[in-house]
Copies of this chain bind each other. A is one copy, B any other.
Amino acid sequence: MKTFNIGELSEKSGVASHAIRFYERENLMPEPARTQSNYRRYPEDAIARLQFIIHAKQWGFTLDEIRELLMLQDANGDRAEAKRIAREQLEKIRHQIQSLSRIEAVLSKTLEECSGEGPMDGCPIVEAIAQER
């Protein structure tokens, strides 16, 4: 099986070498084997693990949550736990969508109302922001 230096792993995974070391310190990546000269040597599946991290980040998981998921995987832990983490994440995302949608509605309505001409005094945008609600 092939093994990689940190630079090669960085290229293959799209994660900067320093970020990989950072993930190691943060217990997201396991400590890899070392060469005689103390260089990190990674097995091939390190690529998949980094890509898991990247995707989980895109899904809005924090590094703390990702660490939890990875620890469950490493321990071949309980699926119910993973489901709980994912469900909490879904809840968070739905909340975000809701509050952003409310803002979107008010902001787009306000923008329609504002001619974009004249001085700030009485500008509907400013007044909408100043509004209590």
Number of copies of this chain in the oligomer? 2
Instruction: Choose from B93, B116, B118, B126 the contact partner of A73 (Cβ within 8 Å).
Output: B126
Main secondary structure of the interface of A (DSSP, over half): helix
Chain B residues closer than 8 Å to A96, beta-carbon distance: 96, 100
Interface size class, chain A: 35 or more
User: A30 an interface residue at 8 Å Cβ cutoff?
Assistant: no
CB distance from A76 to the nearest CB of B (A): 5
A59 touches B103 (CB 8 A): yes
Interface-side segment among A5-13, A17-25, A36-44, A104-112:
A104-112
Binding site for B on A (CB under 8 A): 48, 51-52, 55-56, 58-60, 69, 72-73, 75-80, 82-83, 86-87, 89-90, 93-94, 96-97, 100-101, 103-104, 107-108, 110-111, 114-121, 123, 125-126, 129-133
